[in-house]
Amino acid sequence: MGKLTRFSVSIDSDLLERFLRMARSKGWKNRSLALRNVMRESLVREEWRSNDEVVGTITIVYDHHKRELTERLTSLQHDHHNAVMAATHIHLDHDNCMEMIAVGGKASQVKKIADSLIGMRGVKHGTLSATTSGKKLK
């Protein structure tokens, strides 16, 4: 961590109270921690908008009985082997499976992979959890 800097902020009291309620609900212990977390979240979103090197997790739920779906999902991941870092396959019940796929690369590439997997016919639901490689955050 770099050198700590103290600064003051003028803010509407209602806005501050709403912010502090949100921070408490997340278990953030003080204003400094809450503000750092919100700032970092904003900086991570900026990394994604700027097409920087990012990481994320694609989570999909699908019926593994759907014809050739498992093979298509695996093939797509192999097509992007440079960005797919790991995958975990979980059997939810007799029919449904969940995969969590760790990905990294340029934000546009990661988003494209996520959209392709989530949009694949037979996938019931999917999400991309977007985060940072951490290189630019202190």
Residue 101 lies in a domain: yes
The answer on 43 and 62 residing in a single domain is no
Q: What is the pLDDT of residue 110?
A: 97
pLDDT at res. 137: 81
Is 6 part of a structural domain of the chain?
A: no
Answer whether residue 4 is part of any domain: no
Burial level of 36, CB count in 10 A (0-12/13-18/19+)? middle
Q: Which range marks the domain in which residue 86 is found?
A: 53-132
Statement to judge: residues 62 and 33 lie in one domain: no
Name residue, tokens 């050198």.
Answer: 3
State pTM to two decimals. 0.84
One domain, residues 118 and 58: yes
Residues 68 and 24 in one domain: no
Query: Residue with structure tokens 């202190």?
Result: 138
Q: What is the pLDDT of residue 135?
A: 84
Which residues of the chain carry a pLDDT beneath 50? none
In this predicted structure, what is the pLDDT of residue 120?
Answer: 96
Residue 59: give its domain's CATH number. 3.30.70.1150
Please indicate, yes or no, whether residues 34 and 19 belong to a single structural domain of this protein: yes
